[in-house]
Amino acid sequence: MTDAALRRLLDERAINAVLIDYCRLLDVMDLDSLSSLFTADCFVDYGPDPQLQSSGAAALAESLQRMWRWTKTSHHLSNVSITFDGDDCADVQSYVYAWHKRADGTVATILGQYIDRFLRCDDRWLIARRRMLMNGCNENFTVDINRLERNKAPDDWVAPDIDRSRRAHD
């Protein structure tokens, strides 16, 4: 029981490392190394546009060349939530703050989530399926990423008055 708990912690550490490596490798545009974090037959879905979906790690690496549209990026990962499904599978949700700068200096930011299916393959944890969701973005980001569903306010909901004037705020 103690051993099992420790193994889970080590598995979680390994999965977390893959999530972080993805960000780091994307930000330096080392797409070959990045693709090795995915299963050969992975499916990755950033949005409904077929250009935003890839079947297989090789196709993913080629598709992510689109990130060269930006001159700089920074992907900040957080909120990692891991649910094991047997010993060798895990459903993993994480948040990403993804910052992108264009050659003209404009900045496009996306606040998103990765919804991943991880598999253990020969003692390594790999991403078998990734679906990206977008909680929101700033006005400069215009790629059609899958949207997060959010519960709606009841019809009779009335907004409270808690927003002070801007002047009152230092």
Selected from 40, 48, 55, 69, the binder of a second copy by CB under 8 A is 69
Environment class of 46 (CB within 10 Å of its CB; exposed 0-12, middle 13-18, buried 19+): buried
Burial 7-34 (b: 16+ CB within 10 A, else e): eeeebbeebbebbeebbebbbeeebeeb
Over the window 46 to 65, marking each residue x when it contacts a second copy by CB under 8 A and - when it does not, the resulting string is ---x-xx------------x
Q: Using the rule CB under 8 A, is 160 a contact of a second copy?
A: yes
| Contact region with a second copy (CB under 8 A), list: 35-43, 53-61, 77-85, 122-130 | 77-85
Q: Using the rule CB under 8 A, is 124 a contact of a second copy?
A: no
Q: Using the rule CB under 8 A, is 4 a contact of a second copy?
A: no
Q: Using the rule CB under 8 A, is 93 a contact of a second copy?
A: yes
Which of residues 41 and 147 has its CB atom nearest to a second copy in the complex? 147
d(CA 159, CA 156): 10
The two beta strands, 124-137 and 38-45, are parallel
Selected from 24, 48, 87, 124, the binder of a second copy by CB under 8 A is 24
Q: Are 32 and 58 within 8 A, CB to CB?
A: no
Phi–psi pair at 164, nearest 5 degrees? -75, 170
Selected from 36, 66, 84, 86, the binder of a second copy by CB under 8 A is 66
d(CA 13, CA 7): 10
Residue with tokens 């990692």: 80
Which chain residues interact with a second copy by CB under 8 A? 2-3, 5-6, 9-10, 12-13, 17, 20-21, 23-24, 27-30, 49, 51-52, 65-66, 68-69, 72-81, 93, 95, 97, 99, 101, 105, 107, 111-112, 135-144, 148-153, 157, 159-160, 162-166, 168-169
